[in-house]
A and B are shown apart, each in its own frame.
Chain A
């Protein structure tokens, strides 16, 4: 099992930031990905400003835009000069505002959950790799247990029994983040095994450096490239997990806009108002695609082995 990930080479930061930037900018997919990610981040940060310009906030219910059955009036789910993406059926919320504010939810949960799994994974991986022995054995057992848990099923189930006073969004971040740590722990463990044999680490050890110094001053900085790449690559999965939970109705609670929930609600409108599915769906797809492309590009740029296609 470890062979999938553990054979990945130790990424060296020695490539130099300028070189990495040069390789990255030559990769059209990665550039596209980074630009799209940037656009979504800006949209999320400046959401209040953008919706002030577009005219409707995410919590304004324009019932006049709906007909008697609750379906949006007019073409394409009520697309008009006032409602750029149309409106939400039944509520009359401006879909543009929902999509823009949905970016906040998705990015916040995606990035925060990634931070949770990276912090856990790096700590556990580096300790297991450096100390070996029983620490390592406990880690591999724990990994087995986490891999044995049905992640999505478990997230749904936990959401049901958590007391109402506990903030749901925080729960989602913690649970999604928790299921992500074993993968990064494995990679970090594998690289720590290699790095602790390096001369500079051995030399520091001989000079009497403490384990903390070795772990966090000698080994951790050399893991930076790997960690950055891994974090970027795992963000889209976390965004997808949040969207899936919201889609199933157990994610971020309404009325906070979330793309997944909009898509879930769109099931009942798919025939009469396909645009209600299209806009949140396109946003989710685009941001996931962008992170995937950026992550792939970043990995290739930081890994000199993969340069020039032929090995």
Chain B
């Protein structure tokens, strides 16, 4: 019962935030500055054709009706225009790109495998790498290993991903000729080539992001190791591995999970920089193309989609809090 209420509360919170974000995004992109009908009307744009385009796209209504239509489209789908020329956009409809004559949802779905492949592989790598180096660093505090790891992680925090990516391409791609310099091969086409093309992007992202986790884990670990329950665990005669693995790590992982959820969510919503560096056609590339062509429905669709992914990731983090930390369930923290 308590768990159900906890989950329900979080779910409602998530939906409210989603609606607010949809509203703000919609308001900024559709209502304020630019005019999508004007953009797609073509030349010469007669007032007649402009009015036609407006009606067809649904921009002839007041802005709040447009917003409601858009939101309804996400849940139930919608139809643009009427008669034989009507375009059906089934749920979840994030809009329709009149430039590419494709529903935005379809465009996003086509790009998801690329971005998700990059993000999930890299995330696993950096989580394992970051947490393990952080624990080692904390347990060997003040030694040469600690100093070395902390220096490397300082470099990782300070280096921009694209710089490391380009250096990686230069070294492993051009000079040593070990990995491809870019591109993406679908997993279903050839798992080996898929892996081969993703190794460098994964390593680059892992290096950059693991640094943050190393520092965070180290700090948390140092704090946790002074707690009473660690002393108790040791006094009980538990082995050091068990003390650290079962008692310390569990508490260290709570803040790590928060950051991890946000980072992974952000990356799943479009690995813009990585995709650009390694010339991969993911969500980020879709957005950059749309920005270059002022394809407004795609810009809004991708922005919203990545917001949804981030909020979903936040929700998963909140729920996993409940698993990791029973206190969070009752709210007595």
Report A-chain residues with C-beta under 8 Å of the C-beta of B287: 153, 156-157
Chain B interface size, as a band, is 35 or more
Contact between chains at B17 and A156 (CB < 8 Å):
no
How many A-B pairs have beta carbons closer than 8 Å: the answer is: 141
A131-164 contacts to B (CB < 8 Å): 141, 144-145, 147-154, 156-163
A250 at the interface (CB under 8 A from B): yes
B87 at the interface (CB under 8 A from A): no
Q: A148-B311, A289-B154 are in contact. Are A281 and B163 (CB under 8 A)?
A: yes
Report B-chain residues with C-beta under 8 Å of the C-beta of A244: 160, 162, 273
B192 at the interface (CB under 8 A from A): no
A65 at the interface (CB under 8 A from B): no
B294 at the interface (CB under 8 A from A): yes
Report A-chain residues with C-beta under 8 Å of the C-beta of B162: 244, 247, 263-264
Bound-complex Cα distance A154 to B216 (A): 27
B1-34 contacts to A (CB < 8 Å): 13, 16-18, 20-21, 24, 28-29, 33-34
Bound-complex Cα distance A160 to B155 (A): 33
Kindly supply a per-residue 1/0 record for chain A positions 1-36, scoring 1 wherever the CB is within 8 Å of any chain B CB and 0 otherwise. 101100000000000000000000000010000000
A126 at the interface (CB under 8 A from B): no
- Among the stretches A66-74, A77-85, A191-199, A270-278, the one at the interface with B is A270-278
Q: How far is the CB of A206 from chain B (nearest CB, A)?
A: 31
Bound-complex Cα distance A303 to B28 (A): 42
Please give me the residue from chain B that is nearest to A309 by CB atom.
B142
A243 at the interface (CB under 8 A from B): yes
Report A-chain residues with C-beta under 8 Å of the C-beta of B28: 158, 161
Contact between chains at A160 and B294 (CB < 8 Å):
yes
Bound-complex Cα distance A270 to B174 (A): 9
B137-170 contacts to A (CB < 8 Å): 141-142, 154-155, 157-160, 162-163, 166-167, 169-170
Which of A159, A163, A248, A270 contacts B272, CB < 8 Å? Answer: A248
Contact between chains at B17 and A288 (CB < 8 Å):
no
A254-298 contacts to B (CB < 8 Å): 263-264, 266-267, 270-271, 274, 277, 281, 284-285, 288-289, 292-293
Residues of A within 8 A of B (CB): 1, 3-4, 29, 141, 144-145, 147-154, 156-163, 236, 240, 243-244, 247-250, 263-264, 266-267, 270-271, 274, 277, 281, 284-285, 288-289, 292-293, 309, 311
Could you name 13 residue pairs across A and B whose Cβ atoms are closer than 8 Å? A3-B255, A145-B17, A150-B303, A152-B266, A153-B269, A153-B272, A161-B29, A161-B296, A162-B33, A267-B166, A270-B166, A281-B166, A288-B160
